[in-house]
Structure 1
Amino acid sequence: MSLMDRLNEDMKQAMKAKDKEKLSVIRMVKASLQNEAIQLGIDTLQEENERSILSRELKQRNDSLKEFKNAGREDLVEKLEKEIEILTVYLPKQLTEEELEEIVKETISEVKATSKKEFGKVMGKIMPKVKGKADGAVVQKLVQQYLQ
């Protein structure tokens, strides 16, 4: 089942259950997917594109969550936490820190990187491997840690 089919099914269920929050998040995600497809001039997105859009949506919400927590806006924090919870259902399983460390080590040895000067080269090789499965900031931190 494609992501769009799954979103449509979940949207119907949310409508029947009168779950306004879930319905709202699903509609936003569908709109983002459709807008991206229109911009690219295609009918359906590839799975990789769908994952990157979902990751982008999740990242936006996580960034907003941090800002709202710093501002003490608990009402908005709760709303965003629910949205994040709904969004994560549609993303592939996230890599654990151990799995991510292993990928970073393998890539560093694959690229034969020895110093921080080769940071960009290492990140360029890692990110396609972990796209949608790991937060870029965490990957960046691990690469910097191993390239000292």
Structure 2
Amino acid sequence: MSELKAKIEQDLKQFQKERKALEVAVRRLLLSEIHNKEIDLKRPLTDEETIKVLAANAKKHEDSIAQFKAGQREDLVSQEEQELSEIRKYLPEAMSDQEIQKLVDDAVLKLGGEGTKNMGMVIKEVMAQAKGRASGATVSQMVKQKLAN
């Protein structure tokens, strides 16, 4: 069992004792997502895989927030933001733009990326190095900008 999953389970027990409904609901959702992924893979997840599951869940919440804002549903926006803040407690700190740019520069030098034909390989290399700490959209934008120059 990954350390991260164990921490989520420990926090779930603590919040159940404290009778904090939102925190309990979020942790149950996260554990359910992790469990489903373990069933799909037929093995326990590593911490890195668990982080990917949590990041995907955070992305769903971010998308929901955008949709609810477009639909003028402030009550649901507030709830989704609270849930998202609880999920982010388990995610590693996001990389700064400077750190991402350094990874992009290193990957372009390593792979010899000239023009946009190697863009996919550069993005793949950067995302592997970032290990879930950088969004794909940000990396893609920086790689496009770097290769366009």
* Corresponding letter in the other structure for 2:135: D
After the TM superposition, list the runs of 4 or more consecutive aligned residues in structure 1 that deviate by more than 4 angstroms: none
Deviations 1:29-51 (A, max 9, x none): 00011111111111x21112111
Partner of 2:64: 64
Partner of 2:54: 54
Instruction: State the 1:20 CA deviation.
Output: 0.7
Q: When the two structures are superposed, what TM-score results if normalisation uses the length of structure 2? A: 0.94
SS in 2 for 1:8: helix
Partner of 2:23: 22
- Report the Cα distance in structure 2 between the residues aligned to 1:47 and 1:9, rounded to whole angstroms: 16
Structure 2 counterparts to residues 131-146 of structure 1, below 5 A: 131-146=131-146
Structure 2 counterparts to residues 1-148 of structure 1, below 5 A: 2-42=3-43, 44-148=44-148
CA RMSD of aligned residues (A): 1.2
Deviations 1:60-94 (A, max 9, x none): 11111111111111011101111110011101111
* Corresponding letter in the other structure for 2:21: K
- Uncovered stretches (5+) of structure 2, i.e. residues with no partner: none
* Corresponding letter in the other structure for 1:46: T
Question: How many residue pairs were aligned?
Answer: 147
- Report the Cα distance in structure 1 between the residues aligned to 2:20 and 2:122, rounded to whole angstroms: 43
Give identity over the alignment, percent.
29
Task: Return 22-31 or 63-72, whichever deviates more.
Answer: 63-72
- Report the Cα distance in structure 1 between the residues aligned to 2:32 and 2:123, rounded to whole angstroms: 30
- Report the Cα distance in structure 2 between the residues aligned to 1:49 and 1:92, rounded to whole angstroms: 13
- Report the Cα distance in structure 1 between the residues aligned to 2:109 and 2:132, rounded to whole angstroms: 23
Instruction: State the 1:97 CA deviation.
Output: 1.1
* Corresponding letter in the other structure for 1:122: V
Instruction: State the 1:131 CA deviation.
Output: 2.8
- Uncovered stretches (5+) of structure 1, i.e. residues with no partner: none
* Corresponding letter in the other structure for 2:107: T
Contact 2:68-2:76 within 8 A present in 1 as well: yes
